[in-house]
Amino acid sequence: MLLVFLPIALLGAAIALVFPTQYSASTRLFVALGQEGELRTEAELASSPVIADRVIKSVGLARLYPEIGEAEARAPDKARLLDGKARALFAKHFDASVSPGSSILRLGFSHPDPRVAAETLNTLVKVYLDYRGEVLDGRYTAGLVDQRAAIEGRLKAADESLRSFLAKNNISDFVAERNAVSRLLATLSDEISSTEASRSETEARIAGLRTQLAATPRQADLYVDTTSGKALSDLRLQREDLLTRYKPDSQTVQDIDRKIRRLETLVDASPQEGVKRVGANPTWQALATELASARATAQALQGRLVDLQRQRDEAEQRRAVLAAVAPDFQRLSRDRTALENSAQALAEREQAEQTRSELAARKSADISIFEPVAPPPQGASPRRLIALAGMAIGLALALVVGLVRAASLRTLPTARSVERTLRLSVLGAAGARSR
């Protein structure tokens, strides 16, 4: 068991000697009217890698971490990797903490050299306060202003490109004109359909008037004689007029035919023949006038139809032009909209940053050093803990080995163990024979 315990205990002691004593310097900062969320923000700001880089550069890498400084001097090409390693060690040895319900921000840094620990923490506090001022005094607002100015310049160029594109294609408002052309085409199609229907109706009317005009005599006999002759002439004229509205077999026409036949019988029986006169047929004249009016209407409808079709062709051509340039317009419009949204977002961020800077400027004196940094008089080392851990592990392993060895024996070493194991009385025991 001793052979197991001693090597492990000595190994733990050797490992403990490797770990140096660490001296932890600490300070406390008072944050006036600091809420818990604000204190955590300050702690995160103090833990920023930017601050770590500035502190390492100010104190000196060779003084803060000599081994890393020597390695960087030997291999300058690995400077970035070694700087990252130094930054990781710095973050490991640095601590920023807050207590719930308190306005105190605790900062601490540990190093094997107590004076280096104190100097590094003092430098960190100074760098932290300076960096906090840089963050809060609105220096980053200038970057937002420059970026917004650049975006606005690009937006102006996009506006000019869009205006040139619209002027080149004779477009005032692309969307409005495209919608107007679509509405105009729909209206023209409806009017063309209506005009064609009216023209067809008028042409049918012209055909009917021509048929009636061909069946109507151009001249009619007029009689100026006795009263019977004049009455017969009036009845005939009345019949001709009725034929323009009624069919020959209608009751009205048959009634007037009976009157004409009776009057003709009376005139034939009259001893005087009377004076005969020929003149224009009023029915034919009425039909001719109506036919001329219908022809004029048909010509007007045909002219209107031609003009509507011309307007529709022009609208379709314009729609085709708009469809051809639509992809370019959408691209230019999309770029302009994206730049406009970016400019708006940057303007909002700029205003928010200015407001935050103004509020932060009022809090520039909110942080004060509550407890200055002093070199720590005592250090902390894990040597004792590691040595005790090695002894404990060695003792535990020795006990385990002893128990295993005892459990593996197949003999009873003493008479007492024989009696206890076998429950038999031992009558005698012989000593070990010397050789």
pLDDT one-digit tens code per residue, 22-54? 778 888 888 765 555 677 878 888 888 889 999
* Residue 116: per-residue pLDDT: 87
Task: Flag whether pLDDT at 243 surpasses 50.
Answer: yes
CA distance 165 to 161: 6
Q: Please return the burial class of 424, using the count of CB atoms within 10 Å of its CB with bins 0-12, 13-18 and 19+.
A: exposed
Q: For residue 132, what pLDDT is reported?
A: 79
Mean pLDDT of the chain: 78
Averaged pLDDT for residues 302-322: 91
pLDDT tens digits along 339-358:
888 888 888 877 776 666 66
Better-scored residue on pLDDT, 371 or 192: 192
Write the pLDDT tens digit of every residue in 53-74: 999 999 988 888 888 888 888 8
| Between residues 425 and 332, the one the model is more confident about | 332
Given a cut of 50, whether residue 435 has pLDDT beyond it is: no
pLDDT exceeds cutoff 90 at 193: yes
Nearest alpha-carbon partner for 302 in 168, 196, 398, 206: 196
Residue 277, pLDDT score: 60
State the pLDDT confidence band at 373, using cuts at 50, 70 and 90.
confident
pLDDT at 320 > cutoff 60? yes
pLDDT category of residue 188 using cuts at 50, 70 and 90: very high
Strands ordered across the beta sheet of 94-98: 94-98, 104-111, 23-31, 367-371
Rounded-to-10 torsion of CA 268, 274, 275, 276:
-10
The predicted pLDDT at position 300 comes to 93
pLDDT of amino acid 333:
86
Q: What is the pLDDT of residues 254-310, one digit of tens each?
A: 888 888 888 778 766 655 545 456 677 888 888 889 999 999 999 999 999 999 999
Q: What is the pLDDT of residue 299?
A: 93
Cα separation, 10 vs 16, in Å, equals 10
* pLDDT recorded at residue 102: 76
pLDDT at 275: 47
Q: Can you give the pLDDT at residue 303?
A: 93
Rounded CA gap, 356 and 234, in Å? 109
Q: At what angle do helices 282-362 and 174-215 cross, to 10 degrees?
A: 170
What's residue 430's pLDDT? 65
Q: Give the model's pLDDT for residue 69.
A: 85
Q: What percent of the chain shows pLDDT beyond 70?
A: 68
What are 85-113's pLDDT values in tens digits? 999 989 988 988 887 777 788 888 988 88
Question: Which is more confident, 10 or 186?
Answer: 186
CA angle 270, 272, 274 (to 5 degrees): 115
Q: For residue 204, what pLDDT is reported?
A: 92
* Predicted confidence (pLDDT) at residue 363 exceeds the cutoff of 70: no
pLDDT tens-place string over residues 153-170:
888 888 888 888 888 888
Percent of the chain clearing pLDDT 90 (strictly above): 16
Whether 224 shows a pLDDT value over 60: the answer reads no
